[in-house]
Amino acid sequence: MAFDIEMIKGVYAKFPERVAAARKIVGRPLTLAEKILYAHLWDTEKDQPGGEPTTKFERGKDYVDFAPDRVAMQDATAQMALLQFMQAGKPNVAVPSTVHLDHLIQAKIGASADLQNAMNQSSEVFNFLESVSNKYGIGFWKPGAGIIHQVVLENYAFPGGMMIGTDSHTVNAGGLGMVAIGVGGADAVDVMAGMPWELKFPKMIGVKLTGKMNGWTAPKDVILKVAGILTVKGGTGAIVEYFGEGAKSMSCTGKGTICNMGAEIGATTSTFGYDESMERYLRATDRNDVADAANAIKEHLTGDAEVYANPEQYFDQVIEINLSELEPHLNGPFTPDLATPISKMKEVAPGKGWPLDVEWGLIGSCTNSSYEDLSRAASIAKQAVDKGLKTKADFGINPGSEQVRFTAERDGLLQVFEDLDARIFTNACGPCIGQWGRYEDPKNAPKNSIVHSFNRNFSKRADGNPNTHAFVASPEMVAAIAISGRLDFNPLTDTLTNDKGEQVKLDPPVGDELPTKGFDVEDNGYIAPAADGSGVEVKVNPDSDRLQLLTPFEPWDGTNITGMKLLIKAEGKCTTDHISMAGPWLRYRGHLDNISNNCLIGAVNAFNGETNNVKNQLDGSHGEVPAVQRKYKAAGVKTIVVGDHNYGEGSSREHAAMEPRHLGVIAVLVKSFARIHETNLKKQGMLGLTFANEADYDKIQEDDTFNFLDLDQFSPNKPLTLEVVHADGSKENIVCNHTYNAQQIEWFKAGSALNLIRAMAEA
């Protein structure tokens, strides 16, 4: 089977002693998240995994090197991550890793036609990912096998483990007691190449769940409520840890739903202590050995009793929710933290102008596509059929995995939905990531409402239509609202008219936490890598416009770099989206040269207030940023980018550092950096510098030329001096601070971190 019990046993063998050491160092009882973090330290002295806890880390302050147990990647982000990994010169990945093909499959007609269509459109990407996985020992889940986070929960997540994944909802694995964190491709490359992974030691938010859910309330409503309390930013830099009797009363996949949407409050991740629901799930998913191993150390796989008894003393913030009183919620539109209890929707919706007629109900996504989710929603759908109700809205269902789909089909759940004319889409992300063929022309589509069980509902996310009001709810509420066709339908109190003209009421949902006859599947879609991949050829068509093998960046020649021109002086906000836009550019995520045509096109030029219009100093003309930069490159002229505060905030997308590097930019000099982007620049062999004196930003003129005066003495804790030569020949020196340590300076010298890793692998 696909999981690695020996690796898990290795983690558990050291877990109790590391927890004890951490408790001693920290000097107080520990939360579960702290235990997992301290049990996964990198040994900085020996530069290898397995560091013993010897330092007390300050939450929200200290940057710490960790050694995660696993890496998971989805098809959109895996492309550049694996193209980079190929540069590391390693025969195999250093930790168990998997690739999941789930994002590039559109939902339109139904599972088999849509899957075939995706194969026709994206086979070169799929073939590349399959061959590169095969070569480097990476588990491969083919298109249709399922959504990454459901498949990870079913196969790989384990209590007390630590994983990273190149997708923000990697956090879903917290449902099985992990610390699982979404990262950019560059971080995944580091861990797969055997390097440490750095994280600012998170703050801790505790959520105490009392009471027990009943009636229409579902785990989804817990996180919809928490999102309403904390808002989309309230969890930033923190791990949310759920505990209390209410937590134990919930299924493992329900816990996964709650952790999944921790991404919507900005949390680093969320987690739950190991309990019987997790044991049941492990056993039901063919992992008795993991359950037995976890049971052997179970007292360590949850927070200390004292922490949960007096949470205010040990968490930075505590929230308490009584599940017995929790009402179903509908969150939205356009943001997942706009929480409306269902009993209030009749008052709220009309005043806001939200369309009351609901056109679609969508069940699925990594958030809510478990067997339990489908069974509870199916119990509502079945009542509709039995009570003579017709659904008013259309239904779309994306099962989370082939195992869930196969079992749900065997148990008649999918037939129930089909009796309501639902469309069963591929086991994939589909509408959740905008892969939904709902409209021919979404930009001009009409105002409407939809309800879905997904996690995100930002404008245009599902169908590209800015006028679609998307509301997030539990799968059973989605079913009830889709059947009624009304946003303000409250199934707890309202009735519906059936085909005989009678008033009927829907009973509360019922479902099975796990299939009573067990899970079943014929082909789960997993392809194991070759035992020896050295002879495997990685398939990339040289004429492809979507994939391009990377060429190593040039090493530094050891001299002061001089004669640099200003590419752009960016003014105001310059996020990774401004530097490397998403949208249609996603298609080129695996082709560095093509995606570089979006380089900095969203940045505002401080000299004319415009985007994507900069002066070409070679001939005085103006042009688009990538085009002008390509002219500099062709002429052998190096360039510099100047920016404002918090340059590179936003996502951890490594393309935002790779593109300027590829096009020949040497340095990025700003007032301040978003830390992840600064690190990404360092990894790609660029100079990420800050003004020692912020006012020097104003000294930079459009026609300036730049010379480093002491780059040949580049060393830690020593600022660099940049000579700025203005068009009138006058000169001034600017002091540039940097945060490069000795290792990072080696990255710069080698041309990139990967060049250095490869050189070490070859040595």
Among 176, 293, 433, 625, binds ligand F3S (CB under 6 A): 433
Number of Cβ within a 10 Å radius of residue 110: 14
| Distance of closest approach, residue 203 Cβ to ligand F3S, in angstroms | 24
| Distance of closest approach, residue 365 Cβ to ligand F3S, in angstroms | 4
Among the residue ranges 144-152, 295-303, 412-420, 569-577, the one whose residues contact ligand F3S (CB under 6 A): 144-152
Contacts of 388 (CB under 8 A, 6+ apart): 498, 499, 500, 502, 504
Alpha carbon distance 683, 514 (integer Å): 45
- Using rule CB under 6 A, residue 224 touches ligand F3S: no
Question: Is there a contact between 342 and 336 (Cβ–Cβ < 8 Å)?
Answer: no
Q: With CB under 6 A as the rule, give the number of residues binding ligand F3S.
A: 13
In the bound state with ligand F3S, the residue whose beta carbon lies nearer, of 42 and 371, is: 371
463-482: which residues touch ligand F3S (CB under 6 A)?
none
Helices (H), 27-72: 32-38
Q: Could you say which of 653, 661, 662, 758 is catalytic?
A: 653
| Distance of closest approach, residue 651 Cβ to ligand F3S, in angstroms | 14
Answer yes or no: 696 catalytic. Answer: no
152-171: which residues touch ligand F3S (CB under 6 A)?
167, 169
Alpha carbon distance 451, 649 (integer Å): 31
Alpha carbon distance 263, 247 (integer Å): 19
Alpha carbon distance 688, 673 (integer Å): 8
Among 217, 365, 449, 629, binds ligand F3S (CB under 6 A): 365
Among the residue ranges 83-91, 425-433, 568-576, 596-604, the one whose residues contact ligand F3S (CB under 6 A): 425-433
Ordered DSSP codes for 633-645 = HHTT--EEEEE-T
Burial level of 311, CB count in 10 A (0-12/13-18/19+)?
buried
Among 290, 393, 422, 429, binds ligand F3S (CB under 6 A): 429
- Using rule CB under 6 A, residue 114 touches ligand F3S: no
- Using rule CB under 6 A, residue 700 touches ligand F3S: no
In the bound state with ligand F3S, the residue whose beta carbon lies nearer, of 152 and 345, is: 152
Largest CA distance in the chain: 89
Judging by DSSP bridges, how do beta strands 526-527 and 139-141 pair with one another? antiparallel
Answer yes or no: 103 catalytic. Answer: yes
| Distance of closest approach, residue 147 Cβ to ligand F3S, in angstroms | 5
- Residues facing residue 614 across a β-bridge: 623
Among 145, 162, 323, 366, binds ligand F3S (CB under 6 A): 366
In the bound state with ligand F3S, the residue whose beta carbon lies nearer, of 167 and 187, is: 167
In the bound state with ligand F3S, the residue whose beta carbon lies nearer, of 102 and 649, is: 102
Alpha carbon distance 698, 762 (integer Å): 46
Question: Is there a contact between 456 and 125 (Cβ–Cβ < 8 Å)?
Answer: no
Among the residue ranges 23-31, 298-306, 428-436, 718-726, the one whose residues contact ligand F3S (CB under 6 A): 428-436
Q: Could you say which of 375, 651, 652, 752 is catalytic?
A: 651
Q: Could you say which of 75, 114, 167, 275 is catalytic?
A: 167
**Closest by CA position to 47, among listed 199, 183, 190, 160:** 190
| Distance of closest approach, residue 669 Cβ to ligand F3S, in angstroms | 36
| Distance of closest approach, residue 436 Cβ to ligand F3S, in angstroms | 11
Q: Could you say which of 69, 75, 102, 463 is catalytic?
A: 102
What x/- string results for residues 44 through 83 when contact with ligand F3S is judged by CB under 6 A?
----------------------------------------
| Distance of closest approach, residue 299 Cβ to ligand F3S, in angstroms | 33
Judging by DSSP bridges, how do beta strands 339-341 and 329-331 pair with one another? antiparallel
In the bound state with ligand F3S, the residue whose beta carbon lies nearer, of 454 and 708, is: 454
Q: Could you say which of 18, 103, 287, 423 is catalytic?
A: 103
567-586: which residues touch ligand F3S (CB under 6 A)?
none
| Distance of closest approach, residue 205 Cβ to ligand F3S, in angstroms | 22
Residue 400 φ/ψ, nearest 5 degrees: -75, -25
Alpha carbon distance 306, 142 (integer Å): 45
Among the residue ranges 215-223, 315-323, 407-415, 427-435, the one whose residues contact ligand F3S (CB under 6 A): 427-435
3 state DSSP class of 267: strand
Answer yes or no: 421 catalytic. Answer: no
3 state DSSP class of 558: coil
Alpha carbon distance 595, 226 (integer Å): 38
In the bound state with ligand F3S, the residue whose beta carbon lies nearer, of 167 and 488, is: 167
Q: Could you say which of 300, 405, 456, 662 is catalytic?
A: 456
Answer yes or no: 653 catalytic. Answer: yes
| Distance of closest approach, residue 225 Cβ to ligand F3S, in angstroms | 20
- Using rule CB under 6 A, residue 148 touches ligand F3S: yes
In the bound state with ligand F3S, the residue whose beta carbon lies nearer, of 102 and 476, is: 102
Question: Is there a contact between 453 and 472 (Cβ–Cβ < 8 Å)?
Answer: yes
Answer yes or no: 456 catalytic. Answer: yes
In what order do the strands lie in the sheet containing 41-43? 48-51, 41-43, 63-66, 197-200
In the bound state with ligand F3S, the residue whose beta carbon lies nearer, of 31 and 367, is: 367
- Using rule CB under 6 A, residue 455 touches ligand F3S: yes
Alpha carbon distance 172, 664 (integer Å): 39
Number of Cβ within a 10 Å radius of residue 288: 12
| Distance of closest approach, residue 239 Cβ to ligand F3S, in angstroms | 20
In the bound state with ligand F3S, the residue whose beta carbon lies nearer, of 53 and 434, is: 434
- Using rule CB under 6 A, residue 432 touches ligand F3S: yes
Judging by DSSP bridges, how do beta strands 468-472 and 197-200 pair with one another? unpaired
Q: How many helices, marked H, and strands, marked E, lie in the chain?
A: 25, 32
**Alpha-carbon dihedral angle through residues 713, 719, 724, 730, given to the nearest 10 degrees:** -100
Alpha carbon distance 683, 654 (integer Å): 9
Answer yes or no: 369 catalytic. Answer: no
- Using rule CB under 6 A, residue 401 touches ligand F3S: no
Among 39, 83, 99, 147, binds ligand F3S (CB under 6 A): 147
| Distance of closest approach, residue 372 Cβ to ligand F3S, in angstroms | 17
**Alpha-carbon dihedral angle through residues 603, 609, 610, 614, given to the nearest 10 degrees:** -80
Tell me which residues are annotated as active site: 102-103, 167, 456, 651, 653
- Site residues for ligand F3S per CB under 6 A: 102-103, 147-149, 167, 169, 365-366, 429, 432-433, 455
